[in-house]
Structure formats: C-alpha cells, structure tokens
Structure 1
Amino acid sequence: MAGNLIISLHGPSVHIVRQCGPALGDILHSKFGCTAIIEEVASGSVPSLVPQKTVVSEKRFAGVLSAGIKLSVWKDDLTNVCVDAVVNAANDKLQHWGGLAQALSSRGGPQIQQDSNDYIRQKGDLKTGDAIVCAAGLLPCKKIIHAVGPSLTANPSKYEISKAKPLLQKAIRSILDRVKENHLKTVAIPAISSGLFNFPLPLCADTIVSTVKEYYENSDRQYLPEEILLVNNDDPTVKEMERACCELLSHKTYSEVAGAGAGEGAAKSSTPTVQFGNIQLTLKWGRIEEQETDVIVNSTSSDRNLSYGVVSKALLKKAGAEMQRELHRAKPKGKVIITKGYSLKCKEVFHTFDLSTREVLFKSVLDCLCIAVSNKHRSIAFPAIGTGGYGLSKTQVTDVMTEAVKEFAKKSLPTFEVHFVIFPSEVDTYKAFETAMRSFQQKAPDPGFTQALEHRDHFPVSKPAAPQISLYGSPESRLEAERWLWCLFHSSHRVTIRNNFILCFGEEEYLQLTRLSTKETIDIKESFDKGHADITVNGDSHEEIVVAALQVEAMLCNIQREFVREEERAMLPFSTEKVTFERTPVDVRDVLFSERASVLIKEGLCMLKLEKVENPTLRKMFDAKKQQLQCSTHRNMFQLIPSQFCEMVSHIGFHAEYAPPADPAYGEGIYFAGTVRKAMEVWKERNETYLYLVEAEVLTGNSTPGRPGLILPVVGTHPQIFDSVSGGPDLSVIFSGYQALPKYIITCTVA
C-alpha cells in the first residue's frame, strides 16, 4: 500500500453513504481490494439512517466446547455485532414491535419487516420453537435468524415454567439447525424469552448454555461453526450467561478469559479485551516472536540493523538472517518497511523506525493498521513500541497506541484483531496498558466513534471539514475504486451492473430483486446477451437508484464469497489443511519482469506490476488433470479479467464467470488467448483504467473447432473425447477450470 486517496462527499452521496456505509465498505473491499474509511457522514443535519454504536463491546467469557467450537459471552449491542448471523427473539407472527426485535428491525431497515411479512403471508404463523433464516438488510451481518421462544405470563407459575423450558430448548436447537444448514461460521444469540417474554433469567441462561453444549456433544460433526456468541447489552443478563457457562461447563470443555500464563509474571486477572466497532483489542502477556497473528510489528533503528533492540534481536533470532537481508533491500512505505515472516508464525513483519515523538508513533501505529487491513490481513500484534531507546514514557506509549487503535476503529472496516503483547517481565508496562483498557471497558466511547479525540491536538490527524471516504490500497485499486464511485454517484437515472455471477442468483436473491422492483420509483431488469449477464436499475430518484444498485452489488459479493467457500470445499481432498495461495510481486530488475514488459510494449501496453501466483492445491489439481487427460505438455496462454476477480483466480482457479468474451462464438467455456494481442481482441469491451492479464499454463489436449452454445467439448465420430475446442490457432476454450493453472497476474495500462 502506498497511501490513501480521499473522496469528498456532497449532497446525495452523503445520504447514500449514510444508508449503505457498511455495505459500501464491503463492496469496495470485495471489488477492488480497497479498505474504505468513511468519515463524518453522521455529522450533518439529516439524521443517520444507520444508528451508530454507543457502547464498548466487552468479552466476559471465552471457552471451547468438546467439539472444538468456541463459546463466548459478550456485553454488546446485538444490532452492531459483526458475525455471519444474529438471532432475533421473535413472536409467532414475526411482528417486530418491541424490545430487541424492534431494535434489529430499525437498524436493519424496512427489508427486515418486509421479509417477515412475506414469510407469514406465504407459509403462515411460526410455532413456538421454530427458527427461520432471512436476509439481514442493513445489519452488519449476513443473515438474521428469527427464533420463537416461549412467552410466559408476567409472574409465571412453576408449572408454566416447566412447560416452557422444553420449548426454549427446541428454539435453541432450531437456531443451531439453521446454522448447520446455511454453513454459518459465527452466530450471536441473545437471552431468548427473557425480558418481554418473562422467562426467568437464571433458568433462561442455564437452558441456553446447556442446550448449546448438549447439541454439539451429540452432533454428527458434518458441519460445525467456528464460534457461538451469547450476546446481551445489559449487565444482569450478561452476568447470568457468564455464571451459567462457568457452572455448567467442565474445566475440560472451556477455558475462562484469564491470563493464559505466558511465562513468568503471567496475568492474575482477566485479560482485558475491548471491542471498538469491528476492531477487537486484546492485551496479553507473551513474547512477540511467538505470536501467531497475520502481522507482527517491530521497532528497529534507522539503519535497519536488527541486531539492536530487544524486540528486533528476538525477531531476527527466530526469523533467520534472510529477514535482515530483505529489510535492507525493501522500500519503506512512510515509516513502515514490510518483510516476510520467514520462520516466524506470521505472514509479514512491519518494521517501524524513528519513533521519537508521540506524533510519529501515533502515525506509525495507524499506518500499520491501515496497511494490514489493505493487505487483507485479519490480525496484528504490537509490542510496546517506543518504550525502548526513543525516550517516550510507558504512559505516553500506552496513551498513543490505544488512541491510535480507537481512531482506526472509527472507520468502516472488516473484522480485525489487534493484540498488544507485553514481555512477561515488563510488569509496569502491562499495568499501564491494563489501566487504559479498563477505562475503555468501564465507560462508553463517543457515539458512533465520530467525536474528536481527547488529545487530538497532539496528533497529525485532523478532523475532516466535510464527509469523505478515504481509500487505502494499491495505487491501481484506489483509482479503480474512485472511478467506480464517481460513476455511481454521478449516474443520472440508470445504473447497469455487469457480472456473470448474476447467473448464480437463487430464490432468495430473486426475492430481494422482486422486493426492490415493487417500489414505484425503481425498475430492475435482468438481461443475458452474448454470454454477458446484466442487471439495470432505472428510476426517477437518483438516491434510490444508487441504494438499490448497492444492494445488488452486496448480493453479488455474498454470492461470490459463497462460491469461493464451495470451491474450497471441493478442493480440500487435494489440500492437507486449507487452500492457501500467495501473490508475490516480481522485482522490476528481474528478467521475468523485463521479458514480459517488452512483449507488452509491442502491443501498446505499459506493465506496472508483475505478480507471481503460487497455490499448491491448484498445482496438485492441475497435475492430476494432466494425468487424467494424458497430456504431457501445456500452453502458456492469457486471459483478461476484471480487477475484482484477480484474488479469486489466485485462490480457486479459473471459472467461466470471471471473463466471458465479447462474443462467445466457440462455446460457453473458459476462454484463453495464445497472445496478448489476441487477448485484447477477445476481451475488447474493457473500459477500466488498468488492464489485468492472467498468464496461465493451459492443458488444451485433444482439440476440435468450437461453435456457439457448447457447454462441453464435442465427442468425435470415433470413440474420441476432445479436451477443448478452438477458435483458431490463438484461441482455446476449456470446460474445466482445473485444466488451467494461474502463474502470473500482470497489471498494465495503455502506453
């Protein structure tokens, strides 16, 4: 990442972002790999349509069930929890008139109640103990599960309670059934039937915890989620959930949120964890070189010598000398230099330097966080940087680092973990951080994280004068995202979305399109012409058109994520653990770079970046396909794809949805061009600022001429099965993505 790009918001765009901020951030991340930081959209005179978070999230318990599933207890606002699904305590008619149901319906927008009305109209009232899955609207989760628990009278008798308990157990089991059926990884469950429904709170907590425990003890293990979160926003309920977990789960099935004993001086009190929006900040004892986060942060000297400083020496010893050699070669990004992790248990190390003032330290921490998210990492570990030879006191470092995380968390971001890791002997440093984090746990932050920092004047981060979006990512991704946003915000009465994953829409997606089309001011049309699927949104209101278009884009993001998950599951037999891949930039001085750059120059293109793709699982599948086809050789061929599919092709290989040609005259398969020039002809309807060529090894095998409409290679007159079809010497079409292996992604522009 080489910095950020700021887009000012004016007039209608402010209202659009207010309604769709979280969805817009997700879309920008999915389409362009950009992290979008949305600022000051709630400060105008028009009230925000998306209520902002007003309490700090706090984890009160964390454990692991016997099936390996995490179970945690949280004090939090369920309307702001970022999980795959949240559970609503619903009534049998799905009328969300009060309590949690009303809060979720208000936060999620009119779609929540409309979906519920549609369900009741089509299938009738729910029964007590039932649970159904619906779209989450504007909630920051994928799904909402409406569950009907028992409703008791104001002062229920023991007999009434005894009748209600099995119904509550049934409701919890129904929720977990829906989790399994929809392959949800995380679900947040409130204290169903307590509160407005009058189920006694202590028994409610015991019933929920014991039912979750028993469900997974007796599960067939065909699908298991990653975590069950028990989430409530009031202290009495949270304390009862915490008590129930401690009493009903044995020591063999859970571990409390306590100091894990990172050697001498391990924590004797619970580990401070604070949730700022989507950012979870945890303080822990430990050695920085032993952390298993995606990123580890190091503070080094300006001469980049890792032999100086306690943290640098520890990382160097663990990582090996190659990290030192790369550090000398690497180019800094501001005050951050990035190297690989080598023998460390992380993907990358961010080296910071010259942390001589509070201002520089603040910016360095903030830069590390932004770069990590932009590089699609999910977690980062910081030592107490700045407390060594830079002259900053422990209190100063504590204040600056925690405020930097808080500032970062004000933005619209994906879920992310930040760890402050304190060496076991640094008791005073740990206490300073602990005091700061306890204070955050005990008091609510500024509403929506939009107010100025208490010590803002000390830091070089000024409050924007107007609403804006800051885009973090590569220069190419930032400019592509800016161009897309400009076209979206300046569209008049029509927005067209071209994406062949529209063909993967199911009943739920078409139901959402139908609901959007029922508005008098909106008209949505789907078309499929020459192998290209389009959705066009028309209407009289610019704001409503763009909001509807963003809802369609959000559906496509979810469809693509599910597509990747399904492909990963299909690829698992060829992978020892999980499907992993790397996109490694090739140095401009490398002969590989110069060879490909010279080819592109002849075609009027300038190569900006060459990335090598390495995916061991795809390689195994490609080799297996080579044996199956009895094909000893491959062709080096090219495909021109939109930027949003570069990550997918690296992860799960080639699919026809990525790059349909301008004219699929030779079949409905996956097209490859033998030369760059031919690729420019096949995919001539490209209008992006940058072009993304994928160079691949392709198994064409036995080939025959193609024709329109083919979905599989034709069978010859003799008992011969062809492996591909052709459209001439420089064009091949395959019908199995495993016949092609991505090798390089080339980013270029017209010279």
Structure 2
Amino acid sequence: MASKLDIPLYGPSLNIVRRCGPPLSGVLETKFGCVATIDGVDFERDPRAAQQRRPTIDPEKRFAATLRGGVQVSVWRADLTNVLADAVVNAANEVLQHCGGLAQALSTAGGPQIQRESDDFVAKYGPLKTGDAVVLGAGSLPCKKIIHAVGPCLSRYPLTSDVSRAERLLEKVIISILDKVEKNQLQSVAIPAISSGLFHYPLPECATTIVTTVKRYYEKAHFPAHLPKEILLVNNDEPTVTEMERACRQILPNGNSSGKAKTSVAPVQLGNVLLTLKRGKIEEQQADVIVNTTSYQRDLRVGEISKALLEKAGGQMQEEIKKAPQKGHVITTKPYKLHCKEVFHTFCPSAAEQRNSSEILFRSVSDCLWQAAANYHKSIAFPAIGTGALGFSKKDSAQIMSKAVADFAQNIATKMDVHFVIFPSDNDTFKAFEEQMGSLKQKASHPGFTQAAGWSPSAVEHREGFHGGSVPTPQISLNGPSNEVTREADRWLSSLLFKFSGPVIIYNNFIQHFGEQEHLQLSRLIKGGLSIEEFFENGRAGLTVSGESVEDVVVTGLQVEAMLCHIQKEFAREEEGAMLQAMMTKNLPYERKTVDNSSPEFSKKLSTFKKNGLQILKVDKVENITLEKLFDQKKHQLCCTTSPRRMLQRIPAHFCEMVSHIGFHAEYAPPDEPLYGEGIYFASKVKKALEVWKVPKEGKEEYLYFVEAEVLTGSSAPGTAGLILPPALGTDPLTMYNSVSGGPDVSVVFSGYQALPTYIITCKMG
C-alpha cells in the first residue's frame, strides 16, 4: 500500500536541500523507489544552481566579429540555460554525470531526459575521452541540442608545463564541437569557457585558446562545407566575459561592440512576485503552469498559441479539455508532453466583440494567477494574450496583463515567478511589454507599492478560484510503495539531514567498482577542507567524507551516493544484458507480489521468525522467469544430484529490488566477517542469519530484510578466508567443488545463478 511521509526542513537541513535537491531526489528514487517532492525551498539561493530556473542577468552582447565565410563570432554575458541558439555546449565529465556547476544547471533546467540520454549513451558506447564531444537531446531547454564536451582537467595550481600540455586537448575539444556543428547542420552554437573554473584551466589562457581555435577552424574550412551563422561565446560571470572579449579583440578581425541583442530584460520584483519578460516559445517553457488562450468552443486547433501547445502536448489534451470543468475564466488540464505541472486554458473575446473585453482579459490573467497560488504553484508562464486574432493592440495587452500582475502582487504573501513569454521574432510586442516593465519598475520602487499587511487566507477568499492557504512549509514529501519503504528512506535521509557533527560514512561494496572516471569525480569534490577516504575492512568497502563544515560534508556525501546509484544502475543494466543474451530473449519480466497475511505461505514463516524475536510485517513473493531458467541451467551444468537448500540472506533495503531483478551478487550483502571466502553467503536458519549479518547494538535499523532462496550447494568443501572460487575437487584444478561451507548452517556460492530468490521478508525487532 502506498505511503506518504513529510519531513520538515530547517536550519542546516534546509541549506543542504537547497544545494542538492535534484540529485537527492534521484538518490531516493534509485535506492528506495520513493518519489520525493520538495516544497517551500528556493533553490536559487544556491549559487551553483542560480542559473537553473530563471535568468538573473540581462542577456548582453559585448562583441561581434565576422570570420571567413560569413561566420559571426559574438561574446555574450548571459545565462546559458536560456540562450536562444540551435545548440548549447555543456562542459561535461567523461561519464556524463551532470552533478555540479554548469552541467547540473543545464540538466536541472532541461529535465530528467538529459541525464537519462547521457546514461544511455555511456552504457552503449562507454565514457568519452578528453577532447571528445557528443550531440544529444536538449530536454526542455530552449535550444535544439546539447553538445556535451569534455575539456582537460588540471590540478588546482597547474604548472606552466601542465597548461601547455592541456592546450592541445582544449583545442581538440573546440574542434570536436565545431565538427558536430557542421555534421548536424546547426545554425548557431553557444560555447562557455570550457575547462576554466572547476577544471582549473587559467582563464586568460583558456579564452585565448578558444578564440584562436575558432578563428583557425574557419580560416581552414573547405567551402562549400556547412557554415553556421553564429558562434556565441556565452558566460554569466563578468571576469570570464571580460577575458573572452579581450581575446576576441586581440585575435579576431574587424571586431565591434555596437548593438545589444536582448532576449530578456531585467526582472522586476513586485512584493513577493518576480516578473520576467523574455523571448521564447510558450510550448517550450519550464514552469509549474503554462497559460493558453483558446476559443470558447475549446478547440485547441484554433489560434497560434493553442495549436503550438497542442502539437507539443499531444492529442490527449484536446480530449481532456472538452470534458474538463471551468472555474472562472480558467479550465485546467494535465500537461502531457509539456514541461509543466498544469495547463491553464483561459478565454477572452476579441477587442471588437464586447465593450468590456479589456476587463475580461484582466480577469482572465488574474484568475490564472490566483488559481496558481491556490494550487501552491511557484511559477507561471503567460504568452502575450490578445495580440493576435483577438485584436488588442500590443500596448493595451501589455498594460492590462501588467496591471493584473501588479494587483496580484499587492495581495499575495506566497512567492511566485511570473513570466511573460514573447514569440522570438515579435519585436513590436516585446518592445511594448518592455516599456511596461520599465513602468512597473518605477511603481515598485515607490513607497506606496507594498505587500498587503496582515495577509491571511481569509483576506483573499473572496477572489474567484482561490480557497486560501498558507506559505508552504519547507519540507520533503516522500511517496513510497509501502509504509516500510517510506520509513526506511526517512531513516536514511534524516541520518544525513539532521547530522550535527562528525563524518559521513558510506558502506557499499559497489565502491569497488569505481574506476578512473569515478576517482576523478571524487578528486573534484575535494575542496574547502574536505577529505574523502576509501577503506576496505573484513570484505566490506566503505568511504568516509570528513570536513569542518557539516553542510559541505553531507552535500558531498549525497553526491557520492548519486555516483553509487549510477554505478549500480550500470551494473544492473550490464547484468540484464548478459541475462537476455544468455536466454536469447528481448525482455526480462519480474514481479514482487505481496503474500496475503492469512495464507499458509505467510503463517509458515511467521512462527520461525517469531522464535527469534522478529515480527514479520510483509512477505513478497518474487517471480522472475529468466532467473528460474538460469537457475535450472546452472543445476544441470553442476550435475547437482541433491535438491536445492532453502536458505536466507539478510540484505539492505536498497538492494531488495536489484535481487528481484537480476538475482544475487556478492556486492549486496557481504557478511560482517567473511571467514569462508569472498562469495555470496547464505544461512539455513534465522538465528544464524542474525549472526552472519549482525544487527547493530545501537539498534539503528527499524526494519530487517531477508531474502529466502533456493540454493544449489551441491558438493561442498570447508571454506577459508580469502577464497574467490571453491577449491579443486581433486587433482584437476578445473574441476571444483560447487560451494563451500562454514558449518552446517552457512553456505557460500560463487555464482549468483546458483541461488534463486523466492521471497523477500520484511521484519522488525520485537
């Protein structure tokens, strides 16, 4: 049965979630199958994530020059997540894990598709090499593609010789990017200062190398090869922009700094409302709510905005709007393929149809705002309503919509981001709204423009569509498949978020799967007095994160957990591929079915566990046809004449799904003391299982998880510490025992296919 649990955030826990909310959500889903919803947290306060949700600077062109073939090179100070170019370049690591800096900002702004496509690429083709680039999808970013490019990484204080060697690699990655632009027929590409910042390439040398490489590339281009219209050198911090401009002026011919191309204007703060004007396509926006203006007949094929949204969302939205109830001037539907949580469809007559059309337009915008607040949404994107077929002048539309937002801002205590999104080529409409932004900015600075004092839900209940509510309390809501899973996730999460001293210690044998790329990632996490130490004791791998700042330690620990989740997913993907290949099948179906607690299956296990002080809460039956067939093949291969033994393994909560999916592996549940070898351990009795996998004396674990399995022990020899395979059966070293034992109640096998999971039993002490 599904379960929900809310975890309030305050103090250090709130700051930790602000800094790493998206990766944390991914870890909770991978480890526990819990969906985490984070409310009341303003991620913009994390400087590394400041780019993720709204532009914080006015896009500004600083320089432009034209190269051979008409290719323009320009320098911009802008937010790369909002640049209108065919492609943007991500400064990526070799394994395309986007968990920091610009990579995380782009991945978060573009949605989960970006990381998913990156994972799929690395799984299929392996990691990229330094100097390589790959073109993948852009998710919900306003560009068409992302070019993930791996630049050289230097030490914190590189020697001159180090920079000289890295220069060739930086040249190589810029050439790789420009090759991808040509191959994919892209008209424009936005490139940041790759390898500067976290990769420690000195900024002046970085700028010079990038600009020089771009210039040489097009000087040597063979016409009529495809040439882009513009190469945009885009960064959001002033020192980098200044260096890029300096390098261009020194290296490029006929440069000039005249003319600024605006894709947005500076946001205006109106009380708790942040109003942003920008160019873009409404169907590409990423906000909690996207507003559509449609016909009274609810036909989404009428009107340019409706048609664009319908094409992006899919036909299901048209089916839903025909039946959906109307509240005020708003009909709400699901987003389907749009990048929002809800779509508000509003109505307005043309300026010529009714004398009060301006009032209706005002009420339509106002109703959308108040309904968004009532539903606890934090952002809403409007198109320029009325400027098309409805016949409002651009100035009138801008004035009416701006007035509605200003009125809303003076009466709302919850924070809201409001976006006016103008079609990219509609310069007249953009100018009209820009003038209104200037007027609003003046009003906002006036002492009379203040948020209504003493605001409460009752003060605005009279507004149509708003039912009151308070400012959302900062919290994480965990939604899990069962109460036990949700509480397990809560226990793990709380042990990190409410940690007030000491290191973070992670036990996970998948740490042994860390390769060169993962260790490079770990080295990049070590900063500001942090240290990361790996250890291996008694067959168990672990990692300790230490430092003076508890917040830094926990954030780094969560980043390591994200790396481990990625490793585990890759391990499962590879193992699944091997299983599919072995069975020559196209899919690997498996299922966990909860056993009725009144059934004989449940009752039989109940008494056994109760004798050992354990209360069974749930029994899940594992059904995996592929594992059953592989188990039967292994039985035939080993020529086992004895029946499989029914045995137990105690396993951490976050490996229950993996064992159901791909069977047993030694990484899941290493014993406290591997006295009989480095294989996969099983115990024949509950009491023995509690000895092999000891419950901590401090009793930190609320739930215990046992996997019951059929185990092919076959011919067995006594085990000894350090064995990685069973000993030879006789003089032939290739003929080995099937397993080893640690007495009558412990068996160790060295192939996961020798054990078939049949039940997962969830218990608690007492």
Per-residue Cα deviation, 1:400-438 (whole angstroms, up to 9, x for no partner): 44389999849xxxxxxx9x9xxxxxxxxxxxxxxx9xx
| SS class of match (2:315) | strand
- Higher gyration radius (CA): 2
Q: Which residue of 2 aligns with 1:533?
A: 541
Of 80, 85, 90, the residue aligned with 2:109 is: 80
Letter in 1 for 2:684: G
| SS class of match (1:576) | coil
Letter in 2 for 1:466: T
**CA offset at residue 3 of structure 1?**
3.7
Letter in 1 for 2:505: T
CA contact (8 A) 2:41 2:474 kept: yes
| SS class of match (1:648) | helix
Per-residue Cα deviation, 1:122-153 (whole angstroms, up to 9, x for no partner): 65423253369999x99xxxxxxxx9999766
Counterpart mapping for 1:69-468 below 5 A: 80-81=109-110, 82=112, 83-84=114-115, 115=153, 121=163, 123-125=166-168, 126-127=171-172, 128-130=174-176, 162=222, 165=225, 282-284=313-315, 384=320, 387=323, 393=325, 399-402=331-334, 409=341, 442=383, 451=416, 458=465, 462=469, 464-468=471-475
Per-residue Cα deviation, 1:484-529 (whole angstroms, up to 9, x for no partner): 2222121413110110000000001111222333x24112111100
Letter in 2 for 1:29: E
Q: CA, structure 1 residues 480+405, in 2 after alignment: closer, same or farther (shift >3 Å)?
A: farther
What TM-score comes out, normalization by structure 1 length? 0.56
Q: CA, structure 1 residues 718+161, in 2 after alignment: closer, same or farther (shift >3 Å)?
A: closer
Of 611, 615, 624, the residue aligned with 2:620 is: 611
Letter in 2 for 1:741: L
CA RMSD of aligned residues (A): 5.4
How many angstroms apart in 2 are the aligned matches of 1:457 and 1:4?
A: 31
CA contact (8 A) 1:700 1:724 kept: yes
Letter in 2 for 1:492: S
| SS class of match (1:399) | strand
Letter in 1 for 2:559: Q
| SS class of match (1:667) | coil
How many angstroms apart in 2 are the aligned matches of 1:396 and 1:642?
A: 52
CA contact (8 A) 1:661 1:682 kept: yes
How many angstroms apart in 1 are the aligned matches of 2:591 and 2:584?
A: 15
CA contact (8 A) 1:701 1:724 kept: yes
Q: CA, structure 1 residues 599+21, in 2 after alignment: closer, same or farther (shift >3 Å)?
A: same
CA contact (8 A) 1:39 1:464 kept: no
Q: CA, structure 1 residues 679+43, in 2 after alignment: closer, same or farther (shift >3 Å)?
A: closer
Structure 2: which 5+ runs fail to align?
A: 56-80, 87-104, 122-129, 133-137, 181-193, 199-208, 232-247, 253-277, 285-298, 346-367, 369-379, 386-400, 406-413, 419-459
**CA offset at residue 612 of structure 1?**
1.1
Per-residue Cα deviation, 1:144-177 (whole angstroms, up to 9, x for no partner): xxx99997669x99x8664594799xx9xxxxxx
CA contact (8 A) 2:504 2:557 kept: yes
How many residue pairs align between the two structures? 499
Letter in 2 for 1:652: I
Q: CA, structure 1 residues 385+93, in 2 after alignment: closer, same or farther (shift >3 Å)?
A: closer
How many angstroms apart in 2 are the aligned matches of 1:398 and 1:515?
A: 49
CA contact (8 A) 1:129 1:167 kept: no
Q: CA, structure 1 residues 123+625, in 2 after alignment: closer, same or farther (shift >3 Å)?
A: farther
How many angstroms apart in 2 are the aligned matches of 1:31 and 1:627?
A: 35
Letter in 2 for 1:5: L
Q: CA, structure 1 residues 526+461, in 2 after alignment: closer, same or farther (shift >3 Å)?
A: farther
How many angstroms apart in 2 are the aligned matches of 1:43 and 1:515?
A: 22
Per-residue Cα deviation, 1:205-257 (whole angstroms, up to 9, x for no partner): xxxxxxxxxxxxxxxxxxxxxxxxxxxx9769x99xxxxxxxxxxxxxxxxxx
Q: Which residue of 1 aligns with 2:554?
A: 546
Of 686, 696, 715, the residue aligned with 2:728 is: 715
**CA offset at residue 47 of structure 1?**
6.3
Identity of aligned residues (%): 41
**CA offset at residue 706 of structure 1?**
0.3
Per-residue Cα deviation, 1:624-661 (whole angstroms, up to 9, x for no partner): 11111112521111111001001111111100000000
**CA offset at residue 451 of structure 1?**
3.1
Q: Which residue of 2 aligns with 1:227?
A: none
1:472 and 2:482 are equivalent in the alignment: no
Q: CA, structure 1 residues 480+115, in 2 after alignment: closer, same or farther (shift >3 Å)?
A: farther
Q: Which residue of 2 aligns with 1:312?
A: none
| SS class of match (1:680) | helix
Q: CA, structure 1 residues 549+150, in 2 after alignment: closer, same or farther (shift >3 Å)?
A: same
How many angstroms apart in 2 are the aligned matches of 1:711 and 1:21?
A: 40
Q: CA, structure 1 residues 744+77, in 2 after alignment: closer, same or farther (shift >3 Å)?
A: same
How many angstroms apart in 2 are the aligned matches of 1:267 and 1:577?
A: 40
Q: CA, structure 1 residues 485+635, in 2 after alignment: closer, same or farther (shift >3 Å)?
A: same
**CA offset at residue 550 of structure 1?**
1.1
Q: CA, structure 1 residues 43+722, in 2 after alignment: closer, same or farther (shift >3 Å)?
A: closer
What TM-score comes out, normalization by structure 2 length? 0.55
CA contact (8 A) 2:663 2:753 kept: yes
Per-residue Cα deviation, 1:697-733 (whole angstroms, up to 9, x for no partner): 1111111110000000110234442010000111100
Q: Which range moves more in the overlay, 682-691 or 661-670?
A: 682-691
Q: Which residue of 1 aligns with 2:392?
A: none
